[in-house]
Amino acid sequence: MSLFEDTAPENAPEPVSDETIIWPEHLQYVVIEGVIGAGKTTLANILADRTNARLVLEQFDENPFLERFYSDRARWAFQTQLSFLASRFRQQQTLGGRDLFHDYVVADYTFDKDRIFARINLDGDELRLYETMFGIMQPTTPVPDLIVYLQASTDRLMANISQRGRDYEKNMERAYIDSLNQAYNQYFFHYNQSPLLIVNATNLDFVKHPADLNELIRQIASLRHPGTTYFNPSRSTTPLL
């Protein structure tokens, strides 16, 4: 399930350019979301730097079960999921505190995304216990003023995962990423809790192409629609994938 038709972007390098962005006051808490490999952490870092926002990143490196999970998902799924749930909840509870140095918050995950992974990786009594704990925690977590969902093809996600070269991701199964991709698309297709910008990121390269980055940030900063908005950047030559 893809939320966009295929597009064909330009693949030539461009000069680096930092465009000044006037950030709207109503976007005080922005979340960048996407499947593993979509580029959400990269974009969150850039956006926080451009807007002098407080940066909140998922602390996946602190999960002691993650590497074992990728080696044997069935055995380590429950421990991994509960560790993430506790870590994400603890981090979310800090977002309501006043920050004297930053007016905005940019994060690279939503608390609700935890449930997407749980429903893929857990079942039976483990899933029921997880759902009980999630249901207790979720109502106390803050709702973003905007979610930016970077939607990409599974092929693009796998290429990005390979390029970044994390040891524990080297044996990542394409079928697992594809199932996550479908689950994310399904979730955000029905999402209505806050404004949502769905970006076709399959052929978008906001790291190598500053024009792509500036256009994307302009789209984010100018968004006023209370529901879902689709951003499908169109370029004219060979696609990245």
CA 112 to chain centre: 11
What is the set of domains in the chain, with CATH numbers? 29-231 (3.40.50.300)
Per-residue pLDDT of the chain (241 residues; tens, 9 = 90+): 556 544 444 443 444 455 556 789 899 999 999 999 999 999 999 999 999 899 999 998 899 999 999 999 999 999 999 999 999 999 999 887 667 678 899 999 999 999 999 999 999 999 999 999 999 999 999 999 999 999 999 999 999 999 887 887 877 899 999 999 999 999 999 999 999 999 999 999 998 888 899 999 999 999 988 899 999 986 533 344 4
Residue 93 in contact with residue 140, Cβ under 8 Å?
yes
CA dihedral 62, 164, 187, 148 (to 10 degrees): 100
Q: Are 206 and 9 in contact (CB under 8 A)?
A: no
Q: What is the CA radius of gyration of the chain?
A: 18
**What's residue 20's pLDDT?**
58
- Determine the pLDDT at residue 14: 44
pTM for the model: 0.87
Strands 29-33 and 105-107: parallel
> What is the spatial distance between Cα 43 and Cα 108, in angstroms, rounded to a whole number?
8
Question: Which among 216, 10, 47, 236 is positioned nearest to 144, based on CA atoms?
Answer: 47
Kindly write down the DSSP assignment for every residue of 152-185, as one continuous string.
--HHHHHHHHHHHT-GGGTT--HHHHHHHHHHHH
